[in-house]
């Protein structure tokens, strides 16, 4: 229980503001990698995923834990530090897990024509995160950016739904990158 109590933000206002800015920069500049620090979530959550959850989720933000991420230590930590209700994938505003655990993607909300913002944001835990791999083009990218993605086809299909679709954060250790639904993804 001590780990649950002491592993959150020490200075919540300052640390969450820094984390929010880093997450916003990652979303507005797809293919860039930023650091997120300030919390020590329980395994299997990475530091970056834990910091995102503490920053973006509260008692009104339904969160889905996929696969191995749905364990007692993670549930207790999230409940204590954010109060986010833990829900099924279909009801989630945010979901966290590795790529395989988040499948099938069609169970997550993609918004509706009048309210495209009523979609899920996926926090995809990655074994590696690098500015190499798939080519990214679109808003926030001057010409082309590159990012190691778990696959390409799913993100191309997601882009075809625009303005509907889901957005993604990719996390590894204390690093985060993002892929908004507006980004075009191409094989290299």
Say which CATH number the domain at 47 has.
3.40.50.11310
Contact 85/53 with Cβ under 8 angstroms?
no
**Residue ranges making up the domain that contains 158:** 2-186
Tokens 């009104």 identify what position?
Answer: 60
Q: Helix or strand or coil: residue 110?
A: strand
Count CB-CB contacts under 10 A for residue 178.
Answer: 28
Contact 83/110 with Cβ under 8 angstroms?
no
Q: What is the per-residue pLDDT across 41-71, written as a single tens digit (0 to 9) for each?
A: 999 999 999 999 999 999 999 999 999 999 9
Number of domains into which the chain is organized? 1
Q: What is the per-residue pLDDT across 77-135, written as a single tens digit (0 to 9) for each?
A: 999 999 999 999 999 999 999 999 999 999 999 999 999 999 999 999 999 999 999 99
Identify the band that residue 2 occupies on the pLDDT scale cut at 50, 70 and 90.
Answer: very low
Name the strands in the sheet holding 184-186, side by side, starting at the edge strand that comes first in the sequence. Answer: 145-147, 134-137, 184-186
């Amino acid at each position: 229980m001590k780990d649950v109590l002491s592993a959150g933000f020490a200075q919540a206002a300052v640390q969450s503001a820094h984390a929010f800015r880093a997450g916003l920069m990652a979303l507005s500049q797809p293919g860039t990698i930023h650091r997120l620090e300030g919390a020590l979530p329980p395994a299997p959550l990475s530091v970056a995923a834990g910091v995102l959850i503490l920053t973006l989720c509260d008692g009104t933000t339904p969160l889905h834990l996929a696969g191995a991420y749905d364990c007692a230590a993670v549930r207790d930590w999230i409940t204590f530090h954010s109060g986010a209700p833990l829900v099924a994938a279909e009801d989630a505003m945010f979901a966290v897990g590795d790529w395989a655990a988040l499948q099938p993607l069609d169970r997550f909300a993609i918004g509706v024509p009048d309210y495209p913002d009523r979609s899920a944001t996926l926090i995809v835990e990655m074994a590696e995160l690098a500015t190499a791999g798939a080519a990214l083009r679109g808003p926030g990218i001057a010409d082309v950016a590159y990012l190691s993605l778990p696959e390409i086809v799913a993100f191309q299909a997601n882009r075809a739904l625009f303005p509907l679709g889901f957005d993604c954060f990719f996390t590894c250790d204390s690093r985060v990158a993002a892929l908004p639904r507006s980004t075009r993804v191409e094989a290299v």
